[in-house]
C-alpha cells in the first residue's frame, strides 16, 4: 500500500492530483451536455484551436491560460457565427477553423527555440501545476459547475425540445452559446493536465461512459464526476509508478473505464433480453373525464 501512497507525499504530486481531479470533474459534468448534444467534435476543435493562443502568449510572456482562453472563445464565436449562415454546415465550419488554427499554432511553434515548453502544451504537464494554476483551475471549475446548476432546466429543455423552448420565448441558440463558452473555459484547464491533443478525451470519454450506464442527466453527471476522479487518481499513480506520461495515463484510464462499461452493458442486455427492447406496446389507456 505504501508503494501506491508514497507519491502523494510530494507537494507537486498533491498539486497534480488536485488539478487533475478538479479538471476531470468539471469536464465530465460539462461533457454530459456535450455528448448528449452531439457536440463532441466541437469540443475537440476548441481544444486544438487554443494552440496558437498558447504559443503567442508564450512568445510574449503573457499568461498561457489567458492566451488559450482568448483563442478558444474566439473560435467558439467564429464557429457559431459561421454556421448561422446556411452557406457552410456547422461540422464543415468546425473542420476548416480548427485545422487552420492548429496549423497556425504549429507554425508559430516552429519559430520558437524552446520546444520543451511547447510539448507541455501539446501533451500537458500536470506535474508542473503551480499554486497559481490551481487557483485558475478552481475558479473555472466553480464558474462552469455553477452555470450548469443555475441553467440546468433551460439547457435540458433547449436540447430535448428546442421548438417548445422557442415557443415559450427561450432561445435555443443562446443556451448553445453559453455551453460553447463553458466548453472553451473547461478546455483551457484541460490543457494543463492532459494537453491540447488529449483534452477532448476528458470532455467526452467519462460522459460517454456515464451515458452507457444511466438514462438520467443528474445521474450521468454524478457518475461522470466519480469516474473522472477515479481515473485521475489511478492514472497519476500509474504514471508515477511506471514513469510514463501522466496525461496519457489519465486518458487511458478513462478509455479503459469506457470499454469496461461497454462490455458490462452488452453482457447485461444479453442476460436480460427484455432490457434491450425499451419501447412499450400501445395500449388503449383510460382517460379520466375532465
Binding region for another protein (CB under 8 A)? 36, 86, 150-151, 153-154, 156-157, 159-161, 163-164, 166-171, 211, 214-217, 220, 278-282, 284-290
Least Cβ distance, residue 272 to another protein (angstroms): 15
Least Cβ distance, residue 171 to another protein (angstroms): 8
Nearer to another protein, 18 or 217 (CB): 217
Nearer to another protein, 61 or 169 (CB): 169
Nearer to another protein, 159 or 198 (CB): 159
- How many CA atoms within 13 Å lie on the side-chain side of 118? 19
Nearer to another protein, 102 or 258 (CB): 258
Q: Look-up: residue for cell 456535450?
A: 34
The answer to whether 175 and 154 are in contact (CB under 8 A) is yes
Q: Determine if residue 282 is left, alpha or beta; phi over 0 gives left, psi from -120 to 50 gives alpha, anything else beta.
A: beta
Least Cβ distance, residue 162 to another protein (angstroms): 8
Least Cβ distance, residue 233 to another protein (angstroms): 27
Least Cβ distance, residue 275 to another protein (angstroms): 11
Nearer to another protein, 1 or 168 (CB): 168
Nearer to another protein, 127 or 221 (CB): 221
Least Cβ distance, residue 277 to another protein (angstroms): 10
Q: How many helices (DSSP H) and strands (DSSP E) are in the chain? A: 12, 0
Residues contacting residue 121 through CB under 8 Å, at least 6 positions apart: 51, 54, 55, 58, 64, 191, 195, 196
Amino acid at each position: 500500500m505504501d508503494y501506491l501512497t508514497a507519491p502523494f507525499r510530494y507537494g507537486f504530486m498533491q498539486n497534480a492530483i488536485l488539478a487533475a481531479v478538479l479538471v476531470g470533474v468539471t469536464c465530465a459534468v460539462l461533457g454530459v451536455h456535450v455528448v448528449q448534444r452531439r457536440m463532441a467534435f466541437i469540443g475537440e476543435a476548441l481544444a486544438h484551436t487554443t494552440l496558437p493562443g498558447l504559443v503567442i502568449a508564450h512568445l510574449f510572456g503573457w499568461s498561457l491560460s489567458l492566451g488559450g482562453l482568448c483563442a478558444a472563445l474566439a473560435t467558439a464565436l467564429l464557429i457559431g457565427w459561421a454556421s448561422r449562415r446556411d452557406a457552410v454546415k456547422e461540422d464543415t465550419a468546425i473542420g476548416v477553423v480548427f485545422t487552420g488554427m492548429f496549423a497556425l499554432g504549429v507554425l508559430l511553434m516552429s519559430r520558437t527555440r524552446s520546444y520543451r515548453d511547447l510539448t507541455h502544451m501539446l501533451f500537458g504537464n500536470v506535474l508542473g501545476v503551480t499554486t497559481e494554476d490551481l487557483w485558475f483551475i478552481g475558479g473555472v471549475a466553480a464558474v462552469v459547475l455553477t452555470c450548469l446548476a443555475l441553467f440546468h432546466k433551460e439547457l435540458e429543455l433547449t436540447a430535448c425540445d428546442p421548438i417548445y423552448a422557442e415557443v415559450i420565448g427561450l432561445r435555443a441558440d443562446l443556451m448553445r452559446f453559453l455551453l460553447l463558452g463553458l466548453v472553451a473555459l473547461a478546455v483551457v484547464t484541460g490543457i494543463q493536465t492532459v494537453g491540447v491533443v488529449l483534452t477532448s478525451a476528458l470532455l467526452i470519454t467519462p460522459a460517454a461512459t456515464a451515458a452507457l450506464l444511466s438514462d438520467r442527466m443528474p445521474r450521468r453527471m454524478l457518475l461522470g464526476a466519480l469516474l473522472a476522479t477515479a481515473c485521475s487518481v489511478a492514472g497519476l499513480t500509474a504514471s508515477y509508478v511506471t514513469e510514463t506520461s501522466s496525461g496519457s495515463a489519465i486518458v487511458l484510464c478513462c478509455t479503459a473505464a469506457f470499454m469496461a462499461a461497454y462490455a458490462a452493458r452488452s453482457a447485461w442486455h444479453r442476460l436480460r433480453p427484455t432490457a434491450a427492447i425499451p419501447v412499450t406496446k400501445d395500449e388503449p389507456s383510460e382517460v379520466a373525464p375532465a
